[in-house]
Amino acid sequence: MPNWLRALIAGYGAKKLGGGCLSTILIFVLLYWLLGQGGCNF
């Protein structure tokens, strides 16, 4: 998965799930890391 697509998906998920500034950043980092670990390469 390209890095820009990974960042876009993680950013959207963090925006929807995050409540405050710090939690949004933590969710973004977690989602970005999880999407990188998926192993699906397009």
pLDDT tens sequence across 8-41 = 989 998 888 878 888 888 989 999 998 887 655 5
Domain ranges of the chain: 3-37
pLDDT tens string 2-15: 888 989 989 998 88
Beta carbons within 8 Å of 23's beta carbon, 6+ residues apart? none
pLDDT at 38: 67
The rounded distance, in Å, linking the Cα atoms of 22 and 32 is 15
